[in-house]
Amino acid sequence: MELFLMSLSTGIMVGGIYALVALGWVLIYKCSGVLNLAMGELTLIGAYVTLTFYSIGIPFILSILLSLIVGIILGILVERIFLDKLIGEPLLAVIMVTVGISFFLKGIIEFIWGTETRVFTPPVFPLKPFTIGFLKISTVYFWSFLLAIVVFGAFVAFFKYTRWGLAMQATADDETAALSLGVSARFVYAAAWAIAFTAAGIGGALLGNINGVNISVGYLGLLVLPAVVLGGLNSVPGALMGGLIIGVLQNLAGTYLDRYFPGGVKEVFPFAFMVVFLLFKPYGLWGWERIERV
Partner 1 sequence: MSADGAILKVNNIEVKYHEVILVLKGVSIEIPKGGIVALLGANGAGKSTTLKAISGLLKMEVGEVTDGSIEFEGEYIHRKSAVEIARKGIIQVIEGRKVFEHLTVEENLKVGAHLRRDSKSIKEGLDMVYSYFPRLREKRNEIAGFVSGGEQQMTVVGRALMANPKLMLLDEPSMGLAPLLIHEIFNIVTRLNREENISILLVEQNAKLALSVAPYAYVMENGRIVMDDTAEKLRENPDIKDFYLGLTDVGGRKSFRDVKHYKRRKRWLT
Min dist. Cβ of residue 234 to partner 1 (A): 9
Min dist. Cβ of residue 172 to partner 1 (A): 8
DSSP sequence for 201-263: HHHHHHHHHHH-BSTHHHHHHHHHHHHHHHH-TT-HHHHHHHHHHHHHHHHHHHHHTTTTSTT
Contacts of 292 (CB under 8 A, 6+ apart): none
Q: Which stretch binds partner 1 (CB under 8 A): 72-80, 110-118, 175-183, 191-199?
A: 175-183
Quick one: 259 or 293, whose CB is closer to partner 1? 293
Q: Is 110 in the site for partner 1 (CB under 8 A)?
A: no
Contacts of 209 (CB under 8 A, 6+ apart): 120, 124, 125, 140, 144
Q: Which stretch binds partner 1 (CB under 8 A): 45-53, 110-118, 142-150, 174-182?
A: 174-182
Q: Which stretch binds partner 1 (CB under 8 A): 2-10, 105-113, 162-170, 212-220?
A: 162-170
Quick one: 88 or 90, whose CB is closer to partner 1? 88
Q: Is 184 in the site for partner 1 (CB under 8 A)?
A: yes
Q: Is 166 in the site for partner 1 (CB under 8 A)?
A: yes
Q: What b/e sequence results for 142-157 when a residue is b if at least 16 CB atoms lie within 10 Å of its CB, and e otherwise?
A: bbbbebbbebbeebbe
Answer for which of 157, 174, 264, 272 binds partner 1 (CB under 8 A) is: 174
| CA–CA distance, 90 with 258 (Å, rounded to integer) | 42
Type of residue numbered 190: A
Q: Report whether 3 contacts 145 (CB < 8 A).
A: no
Quick one: 115 or 180, whose CB is closer to partner 1? 180
Quick one: 88 or 122, whose CB is closer to partner 1? 88
Per-residue contact flags (x/-) with partner 1 for residues 208 to 247, judged by CB under 8 A: ----------------------------------------
Q: ∠96-99-100 over CA atoms, to 5°?
A: 90
DSSP single-letter state for residue 123: -
Sign of CA dihedral 180, 183, 189, 192: negative
Q: Is 191 in the site for partner 1 (CB under 8 A)?
A: no
| CA–CA distance, 119 with 107 (Å, rounded to integer) | 20
Per DSSP, the three-state class of 162 is coil
In this structure, how many other beta carbons lie within 10 angstroms of the beta carbon of residue 50? 32
Q: Is 163 in the site for partner 1 (CB under 8 A)?
A: yes
Answer for which of 6, 55, 77, 169 binds partner 1 (CB under 8 A) is: 169
Min dist. Cβ of residue 49 to partner 1 (A): 33
Q: Which stretch binds partner 1 (CB under 8 A): 169-177, 191-199, 203-211, 216-224?
A: 169-177
Per-residue contact flags (x/-) with partner 1 for residues 37 to 76, judged by CB under 8 A: ----------------------------------------
Smallest CA-to-CA distance from 251 within 6, 3, 12, 7 is with: 7
Q: Is 89 in the site for partner 1 (CB under 8 A)?
A: no
Quick one: 188 or 246, whose CB is closer to partner 1? 188
Element counts in the chain: helices (H) and strands (E): 11, 2
Query: Could you list the residues that contact partner 1 (CB under 8 A)?
Result: 88, 163, 166-167, 169-170, 172-184, 288, 291, 293
